[in-house]
Structure 1
Amino acid sequence: MRDRFNRLMPKSLTGQVLMALALALLLAQGISAALLYQAKDKYREEQLIHELALKATIALRHRDEPPPMMEGPMRQGPDLGEGPRGPRPEMVAGFQTLPVDQPCDEYTHRLTQILAGQDIGAARVLVVERPIAADPLWNHRIAKRYGVMGNHGPPRPTSVLVGAVQMTAGGPWLVVRTSVPPNDPWLLVTLILQTLLIYAVLVGTMALILRRIARPLAALTHRVDHFAQTREAKGQITPEGPEDVRRLIVAHNALEERITALINEKDVMLGAIGHDLKTPLAALRVRIECVDDDAERDKMAKTIEDIVRSLDDILSLARVGRPSDPVEPTELSALVASIVEEYEDMGDDVVLDHLPRLVMPSRATWLRRALRNLIGNALRYSGSAAVTMERVAEEGRDWAVICVSDCGKGIPDGDIERMFQPFTRGEPSRNMATGGAGLGLTLARAIAEQHGGRLVLANRMEHGAVGGLDATLWLPLSA
């Protein structure tokens, strides 16, 4: 469920804030609409019951007076005179409900309270709601009044509220009526238009504010990615946006400058170390020629070579993050084949299989160094190596996957990540001939990451046991 929710959520800051705002507005408008409907229904109920009470009160107080322009008492029996919302009050000997009548207990209770508040004591009070078509005294001319103007007139009522009041037990009943207005059809339209207007104002305003925040943040993100690849302080972005974002950009620019200065100091220091160490090592290589003991002289020469090789690895690892050679299209199949041929010429057991033609932008010198490190490790720890290459589509990109396999003892699963740390070796001795300096995998992974790829180590299982180690180099075929 959480994964589905995460997939539906927008990925950007602007999208998430706008979605949260839209959901909050929808909830608020839903609550507002519910309260509005409730208040409107309550108001309509009060309006209807007060209209019934008003008609009943006037009729009861003036029941012994003759109506205007008429002679005699209030008409006993049907009164077909028209009122503004239905027939006028009538006095009947007995009141009988119809089968279609719906009792309204709340209206009955409220009408009793209102009449009592007017000092009108009633023996019985009854309020029912019935369809207009079923009411025998609903004058056709009154019903016609609501439809004479067609769609331009007010909505036509469909039911009538009938109130019956008996003053004394066994006495006549006063019957009053009022039409029940239908629900306002424009209320929902009004709420929708109101919601759209609020959305347009608030969401539009928030979108402009978020854009002012998100645009410099997006530029800063792009700049961070660019700096991570190039380590160059050139092309810093100009601070813009709100004050907090501007301060963040200023701080990041200062951080870039400081990192660049540290990297430059490191390069200068390493260059000086390399120069200061290689010069005396070269002189020492010349001086050992004066040693008469051939065996001792060979040991000294090998020691010097080991020191020079380790020094080269250290300097290469330091420079891998800031390569000076350009990126050029490289045919990987030819590059891999040439490296394998070098080992074959030296009599090493290296097998090449499944080599499709693949071209990618790369720094060929660095890739050669990475592949030599991987093949050299395989030969050092198992005596043989098998190299394969294939094209794989993953994560929406095409990759060149170069795998160097050996038949050694593999690496314990808990130590695989540790093998990428500098000066960590699978062979515990410090013998350079058997274990190297412990920088090969570190340098190979750094080269892979320099090209936007990765290096993966995994034990290969054969017949339920470890059958060797696979060092897989993933390189993107496009930038």
Structure 2
Amino acid sequence: MKDFIKFLRLDSLCGQLVAIAVLSLAALQCVNYYAVYSIQQSYASEFLSVGHDYLASVCQALAHMSAAEREDYLASLDRSRGALAKPFRFRAAEAPEWETETDYYKSVLAREAVTEILTRAGIPPRDVRARVLYGDSPEASEPHFAGYVFPMMQMLVQDGGGSWLELVQPLSVTDRRLIWRQRIFIMAESLICFALVIIFIVRAMLPLKRLGESVERFGANPETASPLPERGNYEVREVARSFNKMLARVQRNLTERDNMLEAMGHDLRTPLARVQLRLDSIEPPELREKFAANIEEIRSIVEQGLELARSLRTSEKAVPMDAAAFAASVADDMAANGGAVTFAEAADCGEPPLVAARPTCLRRAVENLACNALKYAGGAELSVERRGESVIIRVEDRGPGIPPELLEKVFEPYFRVEGSRSRGTGGTGLGLTIARNMVLLNNGFLTLENREGGGLRALITLPALKTAKIGEIRS
């Protein structure tokens, strides 16, 4: 989940595309809401025109009735509307004390519409009045309007007998189910669109994420970086294809370099052997001893150079292994050869510290670190810890340590820290470089830090292996 949120942050391309799409969809939904609102207003206006026709029709019917018939007809209309419990009300009313409102255009339109209908029907001109009542109007608190829906249009028409007919109807859609169906539909549409946009953008951006991971692996260890699958859209495929071409060229150049170094190392062995055979003829003995020391130093540099060249590549396969048992076996082997190397049992954390590693490469890395600890501190302590999705192998000593500003620089080839870690102790400056290369071949990373109270701590961090994946690696 954290990786997904990190993938969608606003400073990433995926996050920006999602933000643009979401904002576009939000704008579209605002247009949809406005469209629905307009439809509802049109529905209310159509309903209002039906009210005009209804009012004019009742007036036409009353014009051809006697006074008694008119009274019975109005009473039946009042009973029928009350039974329906609708906001569309029609009844007999008293003479109004107000005139048609002119500040609300629908009031004028309503009066003109009813007057026109009655005129076309051949009915003598009648007094028609209309106004709009809101929820905060003084009339809204009257018992007569209890249960009415505001805002509403109130229209009154004077009939032929001098009495008044009142029609009251709302100015908005009162069907709440219709309103909420429309709102829920828009909200569901928005959520579905948002989900689809995020899914498709994330899916389209995954190849770029894999490209970034491949570039990071390439920067850490070009020799073991693998080609990127050429999948995704056209632009991503082109970038992946270019990256793979660059990777192939760099790896080919590195292979040629390693082969050249290895060939030079092998070729130097022969003249060194010849010089070694001719040492006995050199006099005096002191000079012979100096030549022998120099030859031995050159031989050590050649051997370390060959080991460095071999540490950059391997054909060994990764296998599942228990890191704790592995570190304990390394400590036991070195202790059996006279080294002061111990293994500290870690507290049981519930899950075994399983890793997928190349045993020989990892052993060489741990042994190099332990040998450094023996050389500069006289002893080493190994331990293993499972921390989240990683397994950490520690190699610790109580030696002089390394200045903090040089903790990363010591991994450079042929770099040696002055003082107790100088060439005089026999070091060539390649041990830590080789150890880091060996760890990189196991998809891990090696870091150094100084211990509290003095000493150095080397941390080999490897990806933890889940039990379910063991069968996949073995297959």
1:388 maps to a residue whose letter is L
Matched-pair identity in %: 23
- From 456, 460, 465, the equivalent of 1:469 is 456
Contact residue 451 and residue 475 of structure 1 kept, 8 A: yes
Specify the SS of the correspondent of 1:373: helix
Q: In structure 1, what residue type is equivalent to 2:271?
A: P
Instruction: Spell out the pairing of 1:325-404 with structure 2 (5 A cutoff).
Output: 325=316, 331-344=326-339, 350-354=340-344, 362-382=357-377, 384-390=378-384, 392-397=385-390, 399=391, 401-404=393-396
Give the C-alpha shift of residue 474 in structure 1.
3.8
Write 1 or 2 for the structure with the bigger share of strand: 1
Which residue is equivalent to 1:92? 94
CA contact (8 A) 1:75 1:90 kept: no
Question: Where does 1:408-427 land on structure 2 (aligned, <5 Å)?
Answer: 408=400, 410-427=401-418
Q: How does 1:122-271 map to 2 (within 5 A)?
A: 126-128=131-133, 161=152, 163=154, 174-180=164-170, 182-183=174-175, 185-190=177-182, 192-193=184-185, 213=204, 231=223, 239=230, 241-271=232-262
Q: For residues 343 and 28 of structure 1, do their structure 2 counterparts lie closer, same or farther at Cα, with a shift above 3 Å needed? A: same
Q: Give the alignment of 1:88-127 within 5 angstroms.
A: 90=92, 92-93=94-95, 110-112=106-108, 115=111, 126-127=131-132
Q: Deviations over 1:135-170 (max 9, x none)?
A: 59x9xxxxxxxxxxxxxxxxx997895636699xxx
Deviations 1:356-393 (A, max 9, x none): 898866555544543443344334444x2232323x11
1:34 aligns with 2:28: no
Aligned to 2:5, what secondary structure does the other structure show? helix
Contact 1:453 1:473 in 2 (8 A): yes
1:291 corresponds to 2:282: yes
- Higher mean alpha-carbon deviation, 213-222 vs 415-424, is at 213-222
Partner of 1:446 in structure 2?
A: 437
Gaps of 5+ in 1: 97-103, 139-155, 345-349
**Deviation sequence 1:305-329 (CA, Å, 0-9, x none):** 1111112222222221212455566
Q: 1:291-347 deviations in whole A, cap 9, x for unaligned?
A: 132222222112111111112222222221212455566843222222233344xxx
Counterpart residue type for residue 365 of structure 2: A
Q: Does 1:321 align with 2:308?
A: no
SS in 1 for 2:416: coil
Partner of 1:142: none
Counterparts in 2 of 1:396 and 1:106: CA distance versus 1, 3 Å: farther
Which piece of structure 1 moves more, 13-22 or 412-421?
A: 13-22
- The 1:245/1:6 distance shift into structure 2, 3 A limit, reads closer
1:406 aligns with 2:398: yes
User: Aligned equivalents of 2:409 and 2:417: distance in 1?
Assistant: 10
Q: Could you say what the CA RMSD is over the residues aligned between the two structures, in angstroms?
A: 5.4
Give the distance between the partners of 1:388 and 1:430, measured in 2 at CA.
Answer: 21
Give deviations 1:13-71, integer Å, cap 9, x for gaps. 99979976884576346424532453245435545665667778899xx9xx9955335
* Structure 2: gaps of 5 or more residues: 82-87, 117-124, 347-351, 466-472
Decide which moves more: 441-450 or 357-366: 357-366
**Residues 366 and 5 of structure 1: is their aligned pair in 2 closer, same or farther, counting only changes over 3 Å?**
closer
Match of 1:185, SS state, is helix
Checking the alignment, whether the CA contact within 8 Å between 1:81 and 1:88 is kept in structure 2 is: no
- Name 2:120's counterpart in structure 1: none
Conserved in 2, the CA contact under 8 Å of 1:14 and 1:210?
no
Distance 2:364 2:229 in 1: 39
Give yes or no for contact 2:279–2:292 (8 Å, CA) kept in 1. yes
- Once the two structures are TM-superposed, the CA of residue 244 in structure 1 deviates from its matched residue by 2.3
Q: Is the alpha carbon distance of 1:17 and 1:191 closer, same or farther for their aligned partners in structure 2, counting shifts above 3 Å?
A: farther
Distance 2:374 2:56 in 1: 111
- Decide whether aligned partners of structure 1 residues 121 and 440 sit closer, same or farther in structure 2, where only a CA change above 3 A counts: farther
Q: Separation in 2 of the partners of 1:232 and 1:197?
A: 47
Deviates more, 1:48-57 or 1:28-37: 48-57
In 2, are the aligned partners of 1:125 and 1:165 still within 8 Å (CA)?
yes
Determine the structure 1 residue equivalent to 2:424.
433
Contact 1:306–1:432 at 8 Å: present in 2 too? no
Q: Which has the higher helix share?
A: 2
Q: How does 1:10-25 map to 2 (within 5 A)?
A: 23-24=22-23
CA deviation profile, 1:249-275 (whole Å, cap 9, x unmatched): 432332333233213311321122112
Cα distance between partner residues in 2 of 1:407 and 1:237: 44
Residue 412 (structure 1) shift: 2.2
* Matches of 1:335 and 1:275, distance apart in 2: 30
Shift of 1:209: 8.9
Q: Which residue of 1 aligns with 2:269?
A: 278
User: CA–CA distance in 1 between the matches of 2:331 and 2:223?
Assistant: 29
Could you tell me which amino acid in structure 1 is paired with residue 458 of structure 2?
A
